[in-house]
Amino acid sequence: MLQFHASFFPDLAQVRTARVTMSSLEGRHPSSAATISSSLGDSRKRGRPDSARRNPRKRNSSFADFGSYMAEKNRKLRDQFETDASTSSADGRGIFRGISIFVDGFTIPSSQELKEFMLKHGGGFVNYFSRHTVTHIICGNLPDSKMKNLRAFSRGLPVVRPAWLVDSIAANKLLSWFPYQLSDGVNERCKQQKLSTFFTQKSISNSKNVETSADQQGTVGLEGSSSNDEVPKNIISYAQLQASTDEGQDSEEFGCYESEIDFDAKSVEANDAVYAISCSVLGAFDSSKPHIHNTSCCGNTKEEILDTKGAKASNMPHSTLTDPKFVENYFKNSRLHFIGIWRNRYRQHFSDFLCGAKSSNANIDSLSDRKKTIIVHIDMDCFFVSVVIRNFRDLFNKPVAVSHSDSLNGTAEISSANYPARDYGVKAGMFVRDAKACCPHLVIVPYNFEAYEEVADQFYSILHKYCNKVQVRDFLNDLPVKALPGIGHSLDEKLKSRQIQSCGQLQKISKEELQNEFGKMTGDMLWSYCRGIDNRAVKTVQETKSVGAEVNWGVRFNDNTDFENFLVNLCKEVSLRLQGCRVQGRTVTLKVKKRRKGAEEPAKFLGCGDCETMSRSMTIPVATDDLISLRRISKQIFVSFHIDVKEVRGVGLKLSRLESADLHRKGFEENAIKSWLASPSEKVMKQSNKIASSLKKGNNEGLPPLCSLDVEVVKYLPPEIISEINDIYMGELHHFMEAHEDENRSIKSCKRTISLPEQGDNSLASSGQAAISDVGGHTAYELNDSVAGPLKKGKLPGGYSAVAISSISTQRKMTKERKQVETPYAFCSRSNELGSNLPRSNENMDLMPGSWSQADISILQQLPEDVRTDSYELTPQRARISNDSYDLTSELLKSSGNQNLKCSKISLFSGSPPKWVEKFKVSNCLILNVIAEFYAKSRADALLSSILQSVISFLPLASEKSSEERDEAISCLCELLTQYIILKIESDIEELYNCFCLLKRFSSVSKLFLEVHKGVFPFLQASTDAYYGGNFYLPIVE
Amino acid sequence: MWWCTRRGIRNCPTISTPQLMVFDLSFKRSFKLQGLVERVVVIFYDKERIPVERFVFKLTVNQSYSSKVEEENLEFALRAFLVKLTVAEPLTKPLPSGSSWEITAYFHALPSESTEEAQLWIPTDTKQWMQPPQITPIKSMSSDPLRVQLYLEHPSPLESMAPAE
């Protein structure tokens, strides 16, 4: 497969353009060439003496002074006009009879066209203003100075917009000029394009205004109404393109009617500047003679002559200071933005083509005689200008440039200039001021983004008709080496050091040499590229790496509020762009341009000037396109810069690490809290499964004999575990289970035990760590063991005993328990032990980091409440045990917030109303009765602290006690509070805190409560220490 | 070490606690920690990076809770923290100048390296108090399946006698 590269070089295109415009001019004035030449000259209204040079006839005449020269000139012009008029308007009864116009400045239609109108319709046209000969002044734009002093300028004559003439012709009668007066609505319509006009929305839209604004735009042609000989010849149809390719005709034949679409290479980022079209055409292309097509696609755009954007008020705000919609308008009017989003537009609009690339490929292949891939690069040079002026023939050969503003200051930048303008040295990026210095009659036209989009879309449509792939890519030019893709600064330097600056020079070097010099790949690349060979596949769509928006113009802030508003808008913009691309980003980068110290106000009006650029980024865990998050993060980053908002000259926000939004949308919809609360088990399941399986080998040695397994239990295990056990037993388990199918056992005990393996499994699942799942594994295993019935300590696997031993006191308690627990309940007590061990290690968490404690915690966390309580209820002995352990003590208490103890101790709080209420009611102690009474009065779920609070007024009662009653009250209260601590320590220390604050207050007035406080407070501290690793800090109460 | 931290913005002593907490709650919300985290602590440091004050959020998630999570209730309950925090100022101590803060999460277990979340956490080298701290509870909340307790930790008076290394 061969590849050809046809590049459109600017010079070539330029020649064509020049030719086109000449031919079109000639075509338009077939009758009198003399008229053309004079009117061309006269269309510039300046009456400078040097204009005499234009007319050779006048050179010989001698004039006494400038006045007589002008009088002579005017006379001759009048004569000329009259002769013209007599030939063109036969009847001499045109609608404009008696009207003589003077055209001031740039108008649409041009003064020349207006002159023709006057010629045809019996009016007069005056080249040099005179109060006596002129009846109407026609102008579209007036400089501010003239606007301000309109009467002085017009000398009382009506100043009318050209639309008056146009409309009159259309209506075929002389309309009243009154509505067309330029003076009306001075405030609404700015005759001169100002910066501000670019920051307003399309607002004024009644038809007249639209028309007016169109006039002001300087971009409108009126072919429909005025010209009879204008044909949309500048449209090259698909058919023509096809014809030229089909028949191999020289495209020059069509060339004369082609106007080019020029994408301004300078203003367009390199990537977007050049469109490579890979055409599989019908074999007509000859490699030795590549045909070059300057295609144009003006289509039906003539209707689209009215640009509503022009209707803008002069006093609209235009910087971040004054415009609340600054960001929005900024991007609406930014050419760079337009270019930036181009690719996305392309992707969206032509997704059909992209999807259908394959099928169309097939079609083309089947059509073509020989398969050839032809890659055509089209340089859309000075695109912005060409599109705007494509309907205005009179502008074709004039220097035209596109810029935001044609203000007096001339501080706007030129973004694109056509070739006539370039001849004068006008370049993109120049200030209008400087450009005008090079070329005084340079016509500045504003952007017309809608037209650009339209043309671009049409252009792509054409391309897609014939090509299967269109790529936005680097530009292949054989002039400077650096312009080649893949040649950056350093490579360029290297080449320069070898006196290689152009591709031509590079071509002289052999491939081998290049490969030796620059390495194989680079050498190959250089060799190919400088010959215009690019073997890279033409990719249709390049992946978007980041999405962002940056504003470096018009950024001025007075205070933080300004900045925040701006930032919100910027975030909005970025958020919309993200949504537009259907991506979300994880890294947020904020770039801030800060005025460099001592930097002057920039030359460009409201530009950014000399700046330091700061940039910082933040990566968030979950990709976002959410406005609020963006705002929060960007603000946070901005704060971290510590800069004064007044110094800020530019702000950019960018998101990178993009992820497809569709993937994330789902996760986003679920509420974050909910997902956060979701059980980790599923997620970590796989992981732990892996670990568990890796543990198998280690466990094998301690396996209980198969016969000791309880089949009833095993069969209730989750299938995964069964299969796992089966694996451990080398597949014998299944046989074993079948054999023992009928065996009956106590269902109760089964159930109890079943819950445990599940827990084991859970803990296994929840652990993200080998160490934990290790223990988890042991636990699970051990449970199988316990299923076997006999519970012997010696049989415990090492892991478990290690846990048990970790706390001596717990160990002691365990032994104690075991003595009393009878075999049928072995599992339950076991599970209880398991639980009771856990808080102990929880306490140790901070002090003894290690795998065991970690494991314990996870197990504890996984133990559901009901399992625990179930176990407790199953063991009536528990109460006794805990009584023992209560005697056993404070030592025990201190070292562990014991579940056992809890289970027994909270008995006072079990039931509804809690048991203690009854107990207190029947007590002899008044204070206890009072407390019980208050409980009865309050809500069922009342907290102890609120009851205690109510008791406060009864405190004096508490002090008048016999010592017996006193002791009873103290012990009862102590017990109550102790149990309350056990009950609440885990879940509600706030409540305990409140209780003890109250208690402390009570103790300052009541000795009884002082005793109670003294008795229980150490326990509280011990428990707190156990659970929270610290001590309660109680405020000192006077 | 098996606690990790995500560093906050340094040198922001002016940030008020409630603001911080709002940030903190949203912060937690955005992290799908899925029950891995046991405590989230906002630690204020003095110049020497010795903790001065710690706001501890102790979290317990009831894994066996299966019925639907009532988000409104939960949100409401969480909001109670904010209310309580606004009145908790008297409990706090004035921060010395040059303070900084960071948010530290205590995990039940180290998140394994491979998961995405784990990469977002950096192990901390936070200095610890040698003595058990003084605890001042601020708020406890239980709204199934989540239980959150917020309490304040200050160094124990003994701490100053035996300063942490």
Residue A262 annotated as lining a ligand binding site: no
> Which residue in A594, A604, A302 sits closest to A433, CA to CA?
A604
Structure tokens at A78: 């009048």
Residue A537 one-letter amino acid: A
Cα A293 to Cα B18: distance, rounded to the nearest angstrom: 68
Q: Into how many domains does chain B fold? A: 1
> Which residue in A536, A510, A714 sits closest to A5, CA to CA?
A536
Strand segments (E) across A531-642: 547-551, 583-595, 611-624
Min Cα separation B49/chain A (Å): 20
- Which residues in B lie closer than 8 A to residue A671 (C-beta atoms)? 71
For chain A, residues classed under CATH 3.40.1170.60 are: 382-530
Q: Is residue B65 in some structural domain?
A: yes
Cα A652 to Cα A551: distance, rounded to the nearest angstrom: 6
Superfamily of domain A94-180: BRCT domain (3.40.50.10190)
- Tell whether B62 is within 8 A of chain A (Cβ): yes
Cα A35 to Cα A80: distance, rounded to the nearest angstrom: 8
- Which residues in B lie closer than 8 A to residue A858 (C-beta atoms)? 108-109
Cα A570 to Cα A651: distance, rounded to the nearest angstrom: 9
User: Rounded to the nearest 5°, which phi and psi values hold at B92?
Assistant: -85, 160
Q: Is residue B165 in some structural domain?
A: no
pLDDT in tens, A387-443: 877 777 777 778 888 887 776 666 777 878 888 888 888 877 788 888 888 888 888
Closest Cβ opposite residue A849 in set B2, B38, B145: B2
User: Rounded to the nearest 5°, which phi and psi values hold at A816?
Assistant: -60, -50
> Which residue in A100, A95, A181 sits closest to A135, CA to CA?
A100
For chain A, residues classed under CATH 3.30.1490.100 are: 543-661
What's the average model confidence in pLDDT over A99-118? 82
- DSSP code for A469: E
Residue B4 bridge partners (DSSP): B105, B123
Buried-state track A617-627, b at ≥16 Cβ within 10 A, e below 16:
eeebebbbbbb
Give the right CATH number for A543-661 from 3.30.1490.100, 3.30.160.20, 3.30.43.10, 1.10.1040.10: 3.30.1490.100
Q: What is the ipTM score, two decimals?
A: 0.78
- Which residues in B lie closer than 8 A to residue A857 (C-beta atoms)? 38, 108
Cα A8 to Cα A344: distance, rounded to the nearest angstrom: 25
- Does position A622 have pLDDT exceeding 70, yes or no? yes
What percentage of chain B has pLDDT greater than the value 90? 0
Buried-state track A141-153, b at ≥16 Cβ within 10 A, e below 16:
bbeeebbeeeeeb
Structure tokens at A878: 């528990």
Burial class (CB in 10 A: 0-12, 13-18, 19+), A501: middle
- DSSP code for A267: T
Q: For chain A, what is the mean pLDDT?
A: 61
Residue of B nearest to A620 (CA): B120
- Tell whether B27 is within 8 A of chain A (Cβ): no
Cα A1019 to Cα A837: distance, rounded to the nearest angstrom: 19
Closest Cβ opposite residue A990 in set B115, B117, B138: B138
Residue A992 one-letter amino acid: L
Does A325 or A261 have the greater pLDDT score? Answer: A325
What's the average model confidence in pLDDT over B102-129? 67
Cα A198 to Cα A310: distance, rounded to the nearest angstrom: 8
- Tell whether B71 is within 8 A of chain A (Cβ): yes
- Which residues in B lie closer than 8 A to residue A626 (C-beta atoms)? none
CATH at B147: 3.30.900.10
- Does position A479 have pLDDT exceeding 80, yes or no? no
What percentage of chain A has pLDDT greater than the value 70? 44
Q: What is the pLDDT of residue A295?
A: 34
> Which residue in A769, A702, A715 sits closest to A744, CA to CA?
A715
Residue of A nearest to B90 (CA): A1035
Cβ pair B135:A680 closer than 8 A: no
pLDDT band of A209, cuts 50, 70, 90: very low
Burial class (CB in 10 A: 0-12, 13-18, 19+), A50: exposed
pTM: 0.33
Cα A209 to Cα A689: distance, rounded to the nearest angstrom: 75
pLDDT in tens, A274-300: 333 333 333 333 333 333 333 333 333
Structure tokens at A182: 């330029």
- Residue whose structure tokens are 């072995």: A826
Q: What is the pLDDT of residue A93?
A: 62
Which site among B70, B92, B136 would you substitute to test the A interface, given the most A Cβ atoms closer than 10 Å to its Cβ? B136
Q: What is the pLDDT of residue A280?
A: 31
Cβ pair A862:B154 closer than 8 A: no
User: Rounded to the nearest 5°, which phi and psi values hold at A295?
Assistant: -90, 150
CA distances from A602 to A193, A316, A558 (A): 21, 22, 18
The highest-level CATH class for domain A382-530 is: alpha beta
pLDDT in tens, A67-94: 788 888 888 888 887 777 776 654 556 7
> Which residue in A557, A571, A579 sits closest to A654, CA to CA?
A571
Nearest-5° angle of CA A592, CA A597, CA A599? 95
Interface of A with B in 686-705 (CB under 8 A): 687
CA distances from A117 to A88, A162, A165 (A): 10, 11, 8
Q: Is residue B164 in some structural domain?
A: no
Burial class (CB in 10 A: 0-12, 13-18, 19+), A73: buried
Nearest-5° angle of CA A547, CA A551, CA A554? 165
- Which residues in B lie closer than 8 A to residue A681 (C-beta atoms)? 63
- Tell whether A628 is within 8 A of chain B (Cβ): no
Cα B29 to Cα B81: distance, rounded to the nearest angstrom: 14
- The answer to whether the CB of A411 falls within 8 A of the CB of A432 is yes
| Residue A953, number of CB atoms within 10 A of its CB | 9
Q: Is residue B30 in some structural domain?
A: yes
> Which residue in A652, A650, A641, A648 sits closest to A571, CA to CA?
A652
Cα B129 to Cα B41: distance, rounded to the nearest angstrom: 14
Interface of B with A in 116-155 (CB under 8 A): 116-117, 120, 128, 132-140, 142, 145-147, 149, 151, 153-154
CA distances from A705 to A743, A793, A914 (A): 17, 17, 48
- Give Cα A654 to chain centroid, integer Å: 7
Min Cα separation B34/chain A (Å): 5
Q: What is the pLDDT of residue A970?
A: 82
- Does position A350 have pLDDT exceeding 80, yes or no? no
Interface of A with B in 929-988 (CB under 8 A): 986-988
- The answer to whether the CB of B69 falls within 8 A of the CB of A674 is yes
Domain around B41? 2-159
pLDDT in tens, A456-472: 878 777 777 766 555 54
